[in-house]
Structure 1
Amino acid sequence: MYKPYFYIIIFLLSFEAIAQKATIAIQKLMDQSYSLEQNQPEKSLQLYQKTYQLSLKTNYKEGAYKSLLYSGIVYSDNGKYDSAIHYYNQTIRYCSKEKISIGIAKGYANIANAYQFKGDYSKAAKYYLGSIKLFEKTKDSAIISQSYQNLSALYDNINNGKLELLYLKKAIHYSDKTKKEQLGLLYGDVGLTLLNQNKTKEAFVYFKKTENLSKMDKSERLLFFTKRNFGEYYKKTKNYLKAISYYEAALALSESQKDAFQKADLHNTLSELYLEIKNFNKSLYYSFFTLELAKEINAKEFLFRSQKRISTIYNEMGQSEKAYKYLLLSSNLKDILLNENQTKQMSLLQTRFETEKKDKSIAEQQIVLKKQELDLIKSQKEKQMYFIASVFLILFSFGVWYFFRQRQKIKNKEIIALQQQQEIAKLEALIDGEEKERRRIAQELHDGLNGDLSAIKYRLSTLEDAGLSKIDAENLTKVINMIDESCAQVRSISHNLMPSSILEYGLIETIREYCIKINTSDTFKIDFQFFGNYFALSKKTETVIYRIIQELVTNILKHSKATEALIQFNYREDELFITVEDNGIGFDKNAVSTGIGCKNIKTRIDFLNAQLDVESSSAGTSYTISIDLNKAK
């Protein structure tokens, strides 16, 4: 399917007022040449040749290279692609000599277009890629857009819809959105690409965009492609009568454009549509028209399609001899299109074979041919066996490698899991030992030191009635009060070492009680917040969490110089987030990472399989602990 991608890289002259009369005369002459391109191409070529000679005489470099370039475009528009390539090469040679990089890029782009029209896709791709590299250096978005559009056409012809769509969208990205005709053509191209991928609904949306822009811009060219695109849409959706209506409207509009390649495409498609509705006479008419146009412009693709369709029509009409004739022609041309060099070599071999055949008898020919056939079959079987054996060996080797690799992975995972279990066991033993020691010390403080202090207080209390002097009585009262304070401190230390409230009331109430006790001071306040639904944990885990918070709060009280702190619990599904914040002076995380308190915190964090994040600045410190409750012990 022909698509309107092959837009010639043509740039209208932006005529500025220049004092030199010769330059002004050349510009006017080029304007006149341009106006004659469509209706009087030969006259236009003569004027471009004249502007080229005048530009050389006056050293007007822009006029010289554009005269050559535009001459090539005129030849290309009229299907004379070899002549067009000749002038584009002249443009490149002149611009290389005069160091005009934009002219070289334009020459490359238009040579690519010409090879595209001729069906020589490998050369077209080479020149397209070369032109895009040069155009990207100019940072001219309009030129880059047209270049990407042309490159997308190449991928359309080799049926690579993914890359075709990619480059079309790049073309839209770089396009000037104020130029409705160009934007409409790009939308149409995207629609055709989507249509090729059977995305008919998406394609219809883009065709509608093109139609809307054609109404706004009143462009006959855009209107032509709108009709052609809808014709292709209805052809794809098998509404052949509606497709014929749109294509005939497009054909009528194409008469003023004088684009031989385009006309060949329209006639070819109408031939195909009439064949679909079994109107053989009209299908033949358009097929032969396509055939003649293809010969004129040397368009091998259309030549192949028309020959093949004529063969089909004659076959449907029962004219088998004519059908075979055109089928043979189309088959030969198909091989030429795929690889001309290979076809030439085959033709040479065929000629040699025919020469040798004259010198041999029919029997000898049959023996040779039979032997060749047997050798070929044998060779093919051997190749198949080698291929199958190679594939089997590769698959077997891969299977063995994969088996041992997976086995090693499993072993490594088992080793890591065992190491983790051992590490957890060590941490658990360490924490259990520490808790036992805390309970022992707490018990000794409560039963031993606290009892001794109570006994001392009792003995001292008996002295109150011993007739002490006023001063001694006051001192005695102070000592008793100090003993009371010491007892209270011992009870507090004992409670902190062994928080029995965890066993009775749980973690949340224990932390709330802990905060209430700390808030007895006027210089420091700590707030406790709890969000979410409480998730019951083992007492060991709750104790570990309590110790972490206790250690953090102790550090705040000792070092932060804070006046406020916050403890926040937030339960979210299977995770517990604990935040401890203060408004203190902050600290250097690296400087304190080796302290005993930090090590204790890290040990407990590791035991819980938790994560600890610390943020500290002069405005305060924030500790965030995230615990996966499914992993916590």
Structure 2
Amino acid sequence: MRALVFVFILLLSYTGSAQTGREARIDSLENALKLVGHDTTRVNILSELARSYGGVDSLKAFEKGFAAIALAKRISYLRGMADANINVAGAYLDYFDIENAKKYFTIGNNFADKLVAKDSSARNIKIWIRGKFNIGVAYGFEGNVKREIELIAETIPYAQRIGDKMFVANANTSLAIKYGNLSLSDKAYNMFLISQKQYEEVGSPEDMIYHSLSFTTVLGEMDSLKQMKSVLDIAKSNLEQIPNSFYEGYYYAELGHYYGKSGEYKNSIDALNKSYEFYKEDALSFYLKGLYQRYAETYRKMGDFKKAKEYTLKYMNFSDTNHNTDEIVQNYLSLANFEAELNNYEQAYSYLRDYVKARDTMRVSNLDSSLQQLEIQFKTATKEKEILALKNETSEAALALQVKKSQTYLLGATASILALLLFIGFYAYNDKLRRARKKEREQEKEVALLKQKQENEVFSAMIEGQEKERKRLAIDLHDGLGGRLSGISMNLSKLDKDEPKEYPKTQLKKVMKDLDDSLTELRSIARNMMPETLVKFGLQAALKDYCSSMTGNDTKVTLQFYGTEKGIGLNEQVTMYRVIQELINNAIKHAHASDVLVQYMRDGNKVDITVEDNGVGFNKENIVAKDGGMGLSNLRTRVAYLKGDLEFHSEENEGTTVNVQINVDAA
């Protein structure tokens, strides 16, 4: 879903401007083309027309672009060849022909490099940065977002140098979108804040709309709903200045997304319906495809699984080829869940089989890709060896020719010296190889010892944790429950000894209250040993129950649970429960926190657990000293059992945040 939304935004950045103001510019350029006589000026106008027709009329974009390339080549016009090739590449990019787009971007960028090397004027640098930026976009469409970010970042200093503030704002917004696509929400958020200030300085209302709608997607992923609404309001105020704007349909799509995340499902559907009105006439609209996912997600949250299934099928059956394997796998799983909720278990099973088949196909595809890469590396290495062997044969032939020309008495001496050198080299090589192998064996032994040591430490820590748990349980039973039961026994003995003449109602009420308190404490001890809610209803219900029990007059414990615990074994769920339980106890007991936030987020096989409090915090240098009191050793042992990572972020008087990252397959 995330990837689809960001591609949606990126497409808006290319097609939105095509609908505003281009017609007049195209007419002006076409008229100028009829009057111009100089070839270089004709190349410039043809090239500009190719760019202006991009996204509006692809046939004319290619016609003008190729005409510009042919004329520029005939008159050896370097700037024209750079600009025209880049514009033709842009036309291919609008048409989603990535292979040809990269081909012409590469040709144009090579000319642009030569152009800037001769004349680094602002006019030429603009062509250079446009080529670099857009070939980065082409890489992004292929899925190589890292390379796209590198190329876009490379253009920004040059745009700043020539004072092109608008390009810098657009580039920073593009980087923000890419960081969001990589789930780097913090980086994306900071880049959006930077570009927002830049757009406020030089941008038009349409630029502010584009930026705001892009920003809301990241804010939605971060669950920053208050700020998401304020940014949507900025988009709305700018939309009011542009009647019938291309972006209006997507504004309502994002507004529907906001309402859906806020729990206002009726408002969400109303907003999505308004967005649908803009795209319903075009059955192949990519934006319509994105809306289907928004509808499905909102109806799922509403519990209307029939509607959720209907829109998921519309998305799955959308007549294009842009469904990646990961999306197909996820949608089959969603359909299986919807059918199960509708009690259509046979169809649910069928979709579940499709899900497993698609997932296996995805894994095989990934394996094939890895094997192909290894095969290419092997062939490359083989070629290098063949070239080296050929060079050696050539050298030996030249040496033989020289030896033949030499005097006969030097032949034996030369051969002896060569033989000696070969022997010494061979001996040195074997000796070096023996030492390397010996060192490798020693390193393997050291690694094995370290691994054994680590396993022993984990086992010892686990045993120690179990002993501490048993000791704590014994103390709870002896000092708490045992003391209460002893008191009840003494009260009953006293009643028997006193032999009251009338019914001892008051004394028996006290004994009954003591029994109720004892039962409550017994249930609390039992819940700590093995939470019954977890066994019956799962991790989410158990955590919700525990967080509610820990919420009191002085402390508020909030749970945010995203994803599911399905597919995670009971032992692993219990261990996760213990980890969160220990972290909450630390926050309340040691950090004296009044507000504790617990987040459980699962994305595929990755589980992220975050516990954040507003307590007194601690100094990182003193974390070892506090280990005994806070049970950090026990925490690390449990996280190690889950094959996870544990991180603390805290400052004194600033609160504490604890992050636990777990791979479900590893656990």
TM-score by length of 1: 0.49
Which has the higher Rg, Structure 1 or Structure 2? 1
